[in-house]
Structure 1
Amino acid sequence: MCLSQLASQIAVIFLLMLLGALARQLGFLSPTTINDLTNLVLYFLSPLVIIKAFLAPFSVTRLKIFCLTLVGVVITYLVTILLAKLAFAKVKDANLRRIATYGSIYSNNGFMGIPLAQALFGSTGVFYGVVSMVGFNAFTWTHGVAMCQPPLTKVSGL
Structure 2
Amino acid sequence: MVLFQQMLIFFIIMLLGYYGARKGILDDVTGKSLSWLVVHIANPALILSGCAGGQMVVKELLFTGILAVLLFLVLIISAEIVIPMFFHEREKRGGYKVMLVFSNMGFMGFPLISAVYGQSAIMYAAIFLIPFNLLIYTYGIFRIGKMGKREDLEGRKTVQWKPMLNSGVIACLLAIGIEVTRFPVPEMPMKLIEMLGGMTAPLSMLIIGASFRGLSTKKLITDKKLLGFSFLKLMALPVAGMLFLKQFVENEVLLGVCFIVLAAPAGSMVVILSKQYGGDENTAVKGVAFTTLLSVLTMPLAAKLAGL
TM-score above 0.5, yes or no: yes
Residues 83 and 97 of structure 2 are in contact (CA less than 8 Å); yes or no, is this contact kept in structure 1?
Answer: yes
Q: 1:56 aligns with which of 43, 53, 58?
A: 53
* Deviation, structure 1 residue 74: 1.4
Q: How does 1:24-63 map to 2 (within 5 A)?
A: 24-57=21-54, 59-60=56-57, 63=58
2:19 and 2:126 mapped to 1: Cα distance?
A: 31
* Deviation, structure 1 residue 18: 0.8
Residues 109 and 132 of structure 1 are in contact (CA less than 8 Å); yes or no, is this contact kept in structure 2?
Answer: no
1:112 and 1:59 mapped to 2: Cα distance?
A: 24
2:95 and 2:44 mapped to 1: Cα distance?
A: 29
* Deviation, structure 1 residue 134: 1.5
| 1:155 corresponds to | none
| 2:147 corresponds to | 150
Length-normalised TM-score, structure 1: 0.80
1:85 and 1:8 mapped to 2: Cα distance?
A: 35
* Deviation, structure 1 residue 67: 2.1
Q: 2:7 aligns with which of 7, 10, 27?
A: 10
Residues 73 and 132 of structure 1 are in contact (CA less than 8 Å); yes or no, is this contact kept in structure 2?
Answer: yes
**Structure 1: segments with no counterpart, 5+ residues:** 152-158
Q: Indicate the RMSD between aligned Cα atoms, in angstroms.
A: 2.1
Length-normalised TM-score, structure 2: 0.43
1:92 and 1:121 mapped to 2: Cα distance?
A: 40
| 3-state secondary structure, aligned to 2:118 | helix
2:77 and 2:27 mapped to 1: Cα distance?
A: 42
For this pair of structures, how many residues does the alignment match? 146
Residues 64 and 127 of structure 2 are in contact (CA less than 8 Å); yes or no, is this contact kept in structure 1?
Answer: yes
49-58 or 131-140, larger mean C-alpha shift: 49-58
| 1:156 corresponds to | none
**Deviations 1:87-109, CA, capped at 9 Å, x for gaps:** 13354443322222222212222
Matched, 1:83 2:82: no
Q: 1:88 to 1:30 in 2, by over 3 A?
A: closer
Identity fraction in percent = 27
**Structure 2: segments with no counterpart, 5+ residues:** 149-308
| 1:135 corresponds to | 131
